[in-house]
Amino acid sequence: MKIYTNKNNTGTLKLLIAANLAAKKVEIVEAEFEDDVFAGPRQLPLLEVDPELRFFSSNAAVQYLFPILDMSENGQCQQLQEWEATRLQPSLSAALGKSPASDVKQVLKSSLEHVNGLLEGHQYVLGDKISAADISIWSTLYPLTHNDDLREQYLKELGNIRRWSDAIGGAKSVQEAVRQWGGSPTGPFGQISALGLPQVANLVSPAGSPDDEAEVQEGPTPEEIEAAKEGWLNGLSKLQPPLKQEKIVLPVKGRKNVLITSALPYVNNVPHLGNIIGCVLSADIFARYCRLCDYNTLYICGTDEYGTATETKALEEGVTPKQICDKYFEIHNNVYRWFNIGFDYFGRTSTEEQAEITQRLFLKLNENGFVSSQTVDQLFCEKCDRFLADRFVEGTCPHPGCGYEGARGDQCDKCGRLVNAPELLQPRCKVCAHPPVLKPSEQLFIELGQLEPSLRSWMSRWEHLWSGPARAVGRAWLREPLRARALTRDLRWGVPVPLDGYRHKVFYVWFDAPIGYMSITQCATKQYEAWWKPDKEYDVSLYQFMAKDNVPFHVVMFPATVLGVNEGHLLVKHLFATEYLNYEEGKFSKSRGVGVFGNDAQDTGIPSDVWRFYLASIRPETSDSSFSWTELGTRNNSELLNNLGNFCHRSLSFCSNAFKGLVPEPNPRRSDYELMALVNREIAAYVQNMEKGRLREALRHVLSISRLGNQHMQSEQPWVLLKGSEDDKQRGATAIGLCCQLVALLCALLAPYVPDTTRKLRGQLNVDAEKLRLNPENPRLLRYLPPGHVIGKPEPLFVKIEQERLEELRARYAGTQSQRADKKNSKTIDTAELEKAIGEQGDAVRKLKSTTKDKSVWQPEVEKLLELKKRLTEAQKQAETRPAANQAAGDVASLEKAIAEQGDAVRKLKSTTKDKSVWQPEVEKLLELKKRLTEAQKQAETRPATNQAAGDVASLEKAIAEQGDKVRKLKASTKDKAVWQPEVNVLLDLKKRLQALQVKK
């Protein structure tokens, strides 16, 4: 066997170690990329077993030389080798270059931390036996592990890697391989491909594609090259005619009709980034992809508005449930508009259409015999004259060892355990604090047990099309027999039950919310049954997107309802659920206000496309993932700016400068068709992953196309060729023409992810959106730009996000929303400094605007300017109120009155909710007033004793009597110490002051 290699190529070290461990003899033959030894892609090292068998992939060669069976789960050894080749090796190569950027180092450090984690508690990366993955990763890391400076820089805190590296390096067979290799850990290192250094890999899941059948692939086959040639020459003619976009979208005969829903967001808060990527953004990306493929697509969503949480929120804010829904509907709508969520219709569930369809389905379900009645004991507030939903009851947690006095009727926030409302100790009504009593209440139930056989049959038929999290949740629910579930409850805000004896009740929100998909479709089209009860001649498929906590309602409750109605309604075929997105080191929380929310993203000044791209790239498809400010910057700077943006701008700029914008007609050679074949692989993988709802993985393949383009540009060096012979000039023109076609392809594939950016890029390409379409049946690179095409003016697509800016944002969005608001309100702002900063920022904006018309370049600076102006306005308002505040500070009587009023406000809030984020800002105001009272009292003590009111014993005795009555009434109404203790403290303070005056007398 022969190993063809150039000098100091760490890939060769892999092969030598594998051969020595397997006791196989190999011959080393020096080679260059120009040598005639390549029957496939020009990559080194090349293992030649015999004239008929060659390996162009070093990892495939390692597996051949070291034939240890991969017994790891899901072929993890091969996946790790793929990760090493496509991510670890490129990031290491870039970091070893001259003056690597900080974001490149960050990518490498992230990869190293992953390897260190794999070695935690294990001798080798996959357990206690050495594998081909160890050989590949060890050889690639050789320049780090055997260079003292780099070892100190990158591996100082990664003890597992150091221990593992030293152990493998101490083996005699490995030491012999290093001797045979003869390379140096200090470089320079030999290239692995004629296309040049690979681009820095994107930070996606280290195990690679979740597709269990994924394999490490070699260079393009002759069949792939021929297919690439055919697609290049004739692919455009095989695109189906573009679909005419109608104002009202209805199914079209002879077309693939796709109905897309995202889980209806609840209207009790602003959506955070986890909500956005879990539902609406994922569905939007998929809907845009469907339109790219000319599928007839309807994407609908809306706000989920009924239920206890809405009534609770309305109570907290002192408004009606309808007012709460109106308020948060607009908030959600505005957030989604800013994120460019392209709904065909965004509706709501508090509509007449919702009530009509829900009641009709219920009556049919009842008629078919799947509804029963049961009497259940519920807590009833005699003072409010109403049954109390779980969240309207609070009391002491019944679980041993807890005893939390603010537990809700469904869950204890302190111990986290579920609670049955009747089991609460010392329960009280959340509205009036009156203790409720148990009373029987008759409710309607859906008999899920009777529907279970049909449900199981349906699920077994379609669950293979669902995402992993959706399958797991669905199967977990069916491990035990299903039981009857309550359909109705004693609330006032909801869809009324259309049945005598129950008309004063409403449907549970779990029952009516999924029906909202139908009612919203009706609002959008006026013919919802065309989609939800389609004619058999129409090809209609339902795709649903959600986070995993919503899965039970979409794979058990709603399908059971539809099966029980039995009128041929559409059931979901493709259900794409995600795991959870965490925030930095903790969790996103709407109730506590933790994380970055939709309006926060808008306020950062970072374009919505950057947020869309980043969220898609960390979409938790197979496991939980985490939002990180550092990683947000890295992805923007490394992947968008340095990879995608750099390739697009370079390609179009060369075309503009060298050919005055006229795209040169390529004259492809075999190496060009090889590149097209590799690109086609990525396009095919993009389509495959998109169709399966793997949006993050699909994005990875788009970035791979951009990297291939960058490598091709770097390898061909058209700037040199255009100065050479006629043949060189033709090659240079071909390189530029092909790169421009790749830019057009990227513009098409990126459109679902970054719509604003691709709109700008289409303008620079001077091409309409309908020209950049995709054939999902035969996905290939097409000649999107026809002969003689002239592009527009190239402009940069992205701007760098500086680390300082990221640190500023991390600090700004630390803590909860209420803590941020308090921090912002407590700042004393220097107006002079702000005016100076506004002047400087204004100059910066004017200079940028004078150099470019590209809004993406100067818009972030404009946002900074607007933020400064906003802060100046706040500072000026503070300055205006300070004199009045200082005057009030000296008025003891006024402050005592203000404290009493603020105390009442705090007590009322605390009696209605235990959500600290609601009442904490008011508590802070109360504490500030008390602080100012203390200061005023100190001032009063230093003044001449002219103010008789402060020392009026009679006034204090009267105040003590009134405060005592107040305390007694509070204690009689509730045992909650948190409610009356502040008033007791006020009473004690009054008595203390009276005593002090009496002593002075």
Both tokens of 308, joined, read: 């206890």
For the segment 614-628, the average pLDDT, to the nearest whole number, is 90
- CA nearest neighbour of 658 among 712, 714, 715, 739: 739
- CA nearest neighbour of 138 among 208, 62, 202: 62
Both tokens of 342, joined, read: 């392209």
Q: Are 196 and 714 in contact (CB under 8 A)?
A: yes
What confidence score (pLDDT) does residue 285 get?
98
What confidence score (pLDDT) does residue 945 get?
42
Both tokens of 85, joined, read: 């080749």
Reduced to 3 DSSP states, what percent helix, strand and coil does the chain have, rounded to the nearest 5? Answer: 55, 10, 35
Whether the pLDDT of residue 426 is over 90: the answer is yes
CA dist., res. 54 & res. 46, Å (int): 7
CA dist., res. 784 & res. 748, Å (int): 10
Across 26-35, 838-847, 897-906, least confident range: 897-906
Q: Would you place residue 999 in the very low, low, confident or very high pLDDT band (cuts 50, 70, 90)?
A: low
How open is the CA angle 56-59-60, to the nearest 5 degrees? 60
Q: Are 264 and 519 in contact (CB under 8 A)?
A: no
Across 30-39, 367-376, 614-623, 970-979, least confident range: 970-979
For the segment 766-780, the average pLDDT, to the nearest whole number, is 94
- CA nearest neighbour of 297 among 306, 287, 289, 307: 287
Across 668-677, 795-804, 813-822, least confident range: 813-822
- CA nearest neighbour of 204 among 722, 618, 686: 618
Q: Are 193 and 166 in contact (CB under 8 A)?
A: no
β-pairing verdict for 485-486 and 386-387: unpaired
CA dist., res. 126 & res. 118, Å (int): 7
Side chain identity at 830, as an amino acid letter?
Answer: D
Entry field: residues in the chain: 1001
What confidence score (pLDDT) does residue 909 get?
66
Backbone φ and ψ for 706, nearest 5 degrees, come out as: -65, -40
Whether the pLDDT of residue 31 is over 50: the answer is yes
CA dist., res. 640 & res. 699, Å (int): 12
How far lies 81's CA from each of 3, 135, 582, in Å? 20, 9, 28
What confidence score (pLDDT) does residue 398 get?
92
Half-sphere exposure for 653 (CA within 13 Å, toward CB): 11
β-pairing verdict for 485-486 and 46-50: unpaired
Whether the pLDDT of residue 817 is over 80: the answer is no
Across 167-171, 530-534, 763-767, 838-842, least confident range: 838-842
Side chain identity at 586, as an amino acid letter?
Answer: G
> How many C-beta atoms lie closer than 10 Å to residue 447's C-beta?
18
- CA nearest neighbour of 203 among 638, 802, 693: 638
Q: Would you place residue 82 in the very low, low, confident or very high pLDDT band (cuts 50, 70, 90)?
A: confident
Whether the pLDDT of residue 828 is over 70: the answer is no
For the segment 570-599, the average pLDDT, to the nearest whole number, is 78
What confidence score (pLDDT) does residue 883 get?
43
CA dist., res. 688 & res. 190, Å (int): 35
pLDDT one-digit tens code per residue, 369-418: 999 999 988 899 998 888 888 878 999 999 898 989 889 887 787 776 77
Backbone φ and ψ for 985, nearest 5 degrees, come out as: -60, -40
419 SS3 class: coil
What confidence score (pLDDT) does residue 212 get?
37
Half-sphere exposure for 552 (CA within 13 Å, toward CB): 10
Q: Would you place residue 455 in the very low, low, confident or very high pLDDT band (cuts 50, 70, 90)?
A: very high
What confidence score (pLDDT) does residue 313 get?
81
CA dist., res. 781 & res. 743, Å (int): 11
Whether the pLDDT of residue 722 is over 60: the answer is yes
What confidence score (pLDDT) does residue 64 get?
79
Percentage of residues of the chain with pLDDT beyond 70:
86
pLDDT one-digit tens code per residue, 978-987: 666 777 878 8
- CA nearest neighbour of 703 among 86, 121, 37, 157: 86
What confidence score (pLDDT) does residue 907 get?
74
Whether the pLDDT of residue 190 is over 60: the answer is yes
Whether the pLDDT of residue 657 is over 70: the answer is yes
What confidence score (pLDDT) does residue 949 get?
39
- Go through 133-167 and write b for each residue having 16 or more CB atoms within 10 A of its CB, e for each that does not: bbbbbbbbbbbbbbbeebbeebbeebebbbebbee
- Burial class from Cβ neighbours inside 10 Å (0-12, 13-18, 19+) for residue 601 reads buried
Whether the pLDDT of residue 948 is over 50: the answer is no
Whether the pLDDT of residue 69 is over 50: the answer is no
Whether the pLDDT of residue 70 is over 90: the answer is no
Whether the pLDDT of residue 74 is over 60: the answer is no
Both tokens of 37, joined, read: 């030894």
Percentage of residues of the chain with pLDDT beyond 90:
48
- Burial class from Cβ neighbours inside 10 Å (0-12, 13-18, 19+) for residue 719 reads middle
Q: Would you place residue 592 in the very low, low, confident or very high pLDDT band (cuts 50, 70, 90)?
A: low
In 567-638, DSSP assigns E strands to: 574-578, 581-583, 586-587, 625-627
Highest mean pLDDT among 365-379, 597-611, 873-887, 896-910: 365-379
Q: Would you place residue 6 in the very low, low, confident or very high pLDDT band (cuts 50, 70, 90)?
A: confident
Q: What sign has the CA pseudo-torsion 862, 863, 864, 869?
A: positive
CA dist., res. 475 & res. 702, Å (int): 34
CA dist., res. 708 & res. 252, Å (int): 38
What confidence score (pLDDT) does residue 891 get?
58
What's the whole-model pTM score?
Answer: 0.66
Whether the pLDDT of residue 553 is over 50: the answer is yes
pLDDT one-digit tens code per residue, 149-171: 888 888 888 889 999 999 999 99
CA dist., res. 436 & res. 428, Å (int): 6
Highest mean pLDDT among 48-52, 487-491, 860-864: 487-491
Q: Are 533 and 569 in contact (CB under 8 A)?
A: yes
- CA nearest neighbour of 885 among 895, 876, 893: 895
Backbone φ and ψ for 899, nearest 5 degrees, come out as: -65, -40
Both tokens of 340, joined, read: 């460019």
Whether the pLDDT of residue 500 is over 90: the answer is yes
Q: Are 846 and 887 in contact (CB under 8 A)?
A: no
Crossing angle of helices 855-889 and 892-912, rounded to 10°: 130
pLDDT one-digit tens code per residue, 98-138: 666 666 777 788 889 889 888 888 889 888 888 888 999 99
**Cis before residue 188, ω within 30 degrees of 0?**
yes
Half-sphere exposure for 195 (CA within 13 Å, toward CB): 19
Q: What sign has the CA pseudo-torsion 971, 973, 974, 980?
A: negative
CA dist., res. 88 & res. 102, Å (int): 16
300 SS3 class: strand
pLDDT one-digit tens code per residue, 595-610: 788 888 888 889 999 9
Whether the pLDDT of residue 863 is over 50: the answer is yes
Helix ranges, 751-854 (H)? 755-765, 803-812, 817-826, 831-851
Across 148-162, 182-196, 483-497, least confident range: 182-196
Helix ranges, 123-221 (H)? 132-140, 142-145, 148-155, 159-169, 172-181
How open is the CA angle 285-307-380, to the nearest 5 degrees? 160
What confidence score (pLDDT) does residue 156 get?
86
Q: DSSP readout, 227-269?
A: HHHHHHHHGGGGSPPPPPPPSS----TTSEEEEEEEPPPBTTS
**Cis before residue 921, ω within 30 degrees of 0?**
no
What confidence score (pLDDT) does residue 106 get?
73
How open is the CA angle 759-761-763, to the nearest 5 degrees? 75
Across 689-703, 802-816, 822-836, 854-868, least confident range: 822-836
- CA nearest neighbour of 332 among 274, 264, 285, 278: 264
Mean pLDDT computed over every residue of the chain: 84
What confidence score (pLDDT) does residue 374 get?
94
| β-strand partners of 347 | 302
Spatial strand order of the sheet with 539-547 comes to 345-348, 296-303, 256-262, 539-547, 574-578
